[in-house]
Structure 1
Amino acid sequence: MMQKRDIFIGLVVVTVWGLNFIAIKIGLKEIPPLLLGALRFLLACFPIIFFLPRPPIPWLWLIALGLSINVGQFSFLFIGMKVGMPAGLASLVLQSQAFFTLLVGAAWLGERWSWNHLAGLALAASGMAIIGSQQGGEMTAAGFGLTLTAAACWGVGNVIMRRATQSLPPSSMLSLVVWAGAVAILPLTALSWIIEGYDAWLAAYHTPSWASLGSIIYLSFFATLVGFGLWGKLLSRHPAAVVSPLALLVPIVGMSSSALFLGEAVSLWQGLGAVLVMSGLIVHVLGGRWKVSNIKIRDY
């Protein structure tokens, strides 16, 4: 059972992560997506990386983790939000990473599925199909597709992390986040230079505002260092099964804060899809505790 102090820490983390999507949306108004990603990790990693030992995992795994979660996820997410994905819906769609993790884990590591995994996947997939069919207004097909691809990259990264950090203590989470972030700086910078170009860099340099600078600081310090640092502390004190359900609050914070601060509206069908996705996530994360069936599905 989590103490009140740890519950409070968990609520701080999910609030910080939920507001993260507003910071992204603000930053993208003046900074190109890939450059914003590179600046995020540059500020998050330096100079703190000089004070944190490299996590005790092979370089190959560390590079794979940085490329999948940091380069892949944030490249597609930032570009998706730039071309037409509302911040609130992005916070929800990105949580489909849980199901991509399930699919990749089954294919790569041979992990077995339980009834709640299948039921949660079916509910969430139905919700995603409804949301994806509702283009128009603030959401475009490209924005939705890119955000879903970002979730897939996160899912792959989760399986890599699980494979590479089996004996890594949760207290090393911050070190892992910083070093994997450092891996992403050069690829994101190179991609930004090739795709976005010198002119976009020059425009971002000459037209900075306090809002865009605040966005970079929030993404680097609060969403990355503070968020993952506190999350790692919780995992060092409690089992993952106790801590992970708190992440279900992230899209709730993301959608409500986006409506409040950015004026984003969700259509009736998008709202129905969001309910189905959240229901699927709840069944996926918490369904194993429900005594509906003790039979596990092994042939998937």
Structure 2
Amino acid sequence: MTSRDRLLGLTVVVLWGLNFLAIRAGLDHFPPFFFAALRFFVIAIPVVLFVPRPQVPLKWLLVYGLGFGVGQFAFLFWAMHVGMPTGLASLVLQSSAPFTVVLGAAALRERLRPAQVGGLLVAMAGMTVIGWDRAQHAALLPVALTLLAGLSWALGNIGNRKAASDQPMRLMLWMCVIPPLPMLALSLGVEGPSAGWDSLTSSLHGTGPLALAGLAYIVILGTVAGSGLWTALLSRYPAGMVAPFSLLVPIVGIGASWLVLHEEPSVLSLVGGAVVIAGAAATQVSAKVRPSALSHSPAPARVGV
């Protein structure tokens, strides 16, 4: 990988790490499910109008959209809404990597190598440490919800791989068309018919402008710019070479949350998080990758959180 492309990879890491601050800003004003619907709705409108639909089976596009878009962000935003620390959320969400390996073995009959099995066990140990630590603070539910977000992301990865599109950026953009209506229905059913509308009409006052700035960051920098750079890197290099960059995202997320939000994660949570990242990295250590398989490896095909 060239120095320029390494710099692009680190740029994506920074964009996605700061994305969690943008999410926090949005959730401080908007209800979580409505904010998730709004996040995808802003992207979906221009996509439907200007981007041709990728020629992939509809069922796999739906699996990708419902897993990555609906499941991941419903659980992640809910977790952060009920108390998941911003920096810790960026870390626990890395559970998607070992979850993807497990689902790949179960659904796609991919053979697990010894290094991957060892990585899975290490990652599970790290998540257990984090869960135990948070339980001491009566805050286990947010961790469980964030793990469900990671599992949903992994399910979306399976849909992405089964779609097997030769136009990954177009597939990613059309994935964003799936979540708005289910998320809006979830918001109406759980948050009530007026909660989202009230937050939208008051978005020019109080915490609203910062929330709108967070929404703009998520859409323009987190999704379009971050995902565009990530897709370009995956098109030029084996996924096993690119994917480890995503494991640096929690470092930016935790550091930014500490500097901006004054969150101070416990030592035990940081230790557990380091173990999770080490295990996730081990699951992505692969043998030689065939050129035809580069764009369909088990590494996360991220859209940016």
**TM-score, normalisation: structure 1:** 0.90
How big is each residue's C-alpha offset from its partner over 1:2-51, in whole Å with a ceiling of 9 and x where there is no partner? 11221111111111111111111111011000111111111122224422
For residue 234 of structure 1, give the secondary structure of its aligned residue in structure 2.
helix
How big is each residue's C-alpha offset from its partner over 1:212-235, in whole Å with a ceiling of 9 and x where there is no partner? 100111111211111111111111
Instruction: Between 196-205 and 68-77, report the one with greater CA deviation.
Output: 196-205
Which residue does the alignment assign to 1:176?
171
Contact 2:70-2:183 at 8 Å conserved across structures: yes
Which residue does the alignment assign to 1:29?
28
Which residue does the alignment assign to 1:64?
63
Contact 1:174-1:225 at 8 Å conserved across structures: no
Contact 1:44-1:224 at 8 Å conserved across structures: no
Q: Compute the displacement of 1:76 (Å).
A: 0.4
Which residue does the alignment assign to 2:196?
201
Which residue does the alignment assign to 1:221?
220
User: Among the aligned pairs, what percent are the same residue?
Assistant: 42
Q: How does 1:67-86 map to 2 (within 5 A)?
A: 67-86=66-85
Residues in 2 aligned to 1:7 and 1:139: alpha-carbon distance in whole angstroms: 41
How big is each residue's C-alpha offset from its partner over 1:208-262, in whole Å with a ceiling of 9 and x where there is no partner? 1210100111111211111111111111111212211111111111111111111
**TM-score, normalisation: structure 2:** 0.88
For residue 286 of structure 1, give the secondary structure of its aligned residue in structure 2.
coil
Which residue does the alignment assign to 1:244?
243
Q: Compute the displacement of 1:139 (Å).
A: 7.6
Residues in 1 aligned to 2:41 and 2:220: alpha-carbon distance in whole angstroms: 11
Give the letter for the 1:12 counterpart: T
For residue 177 of structure 2, give the secondary structure of its aligned residue in structure 1.
helix
Residues in 2 aligned to 1:50 and 1:222: alpha-carbon distance in whole angstroms: 21
Q: How does 1:1-300 map to 2 (within 5 A)?
A: 2-135=1-134, 140-165=139-164, 168-169=165-166, 172-208=167-203, 209-286=208-285
Residues in 1 aligned to 2:191 and 2:28: alpha-carbon distance in whole angstroms: 14
How big is each residue's C-alpha offset from its partner over 1:58-86, in whole Å with a ceiling of 9 and x where there is no partner? 11111121111100110000001100111
Q: Compute the displacement of 1:275 (Å).
A: 1.7
- Hey, which bits of structure 1, 4+ residues long, moved more than 6 A? 136-139
Instruction: Between 72-81 and 260-269, report the one with greater CA deviation.
Output: 260-269
For residue 54 of structure 1, give the secondary structure of its aligned residue in structure 2.
coil
For residue 285 of structure 2, give the secondary structure of its aligned residue in structure 1.
helix
Contact 1:13-1:231 at 8 Å conserved across structures: yes
Unpaired runs of 5+ residues, structure 1, are 290-300
Q: Compute the displacement of 1:205 (Å).
A: 2.3
Number of equivalent positions: 284
Q: Compute the displacement of 1:203 (Å).
A: 2.9
How big is each residue's C-alpha offset from its partner over 1:112-160, in whole Å with a ceiling of 9 and x where there is no partner? 1112111111111111101111226988211111100010111111112
How big is each residue's C-alpha offset from its partner over 1:262-291, in whole Å with a ceiling of 9 and x where there is no partner? 1111112112111211221222223758xx
RMSD: 1.7
Contact 1:114-1:288 at 8 Å conserved across structures: no
For residue 133 of structure 1, give the secondary structure of its aligned residue in structure 2.
helix
Give the letter for the 1:44 counterpart: I
Instruction: Between 255-264 and 31-40, report the one with greater CA deviation.
Output: 255-264
Change beyond 3 A, Cα 1:210–1:248: same
Unpaired runs of 5+ residues, structure 2, are 289-305
Change beyond 3 A, Cα 1:258–1:199: same
Contact 1:17-1:223 at 8 Å conserved across structures: yes
Change beyond 3 A, Cα 1:277–1:43: same
Residues in 2 aligned to 1:42 and 1:206: alpha-carbon distance in whole angstroms: 17
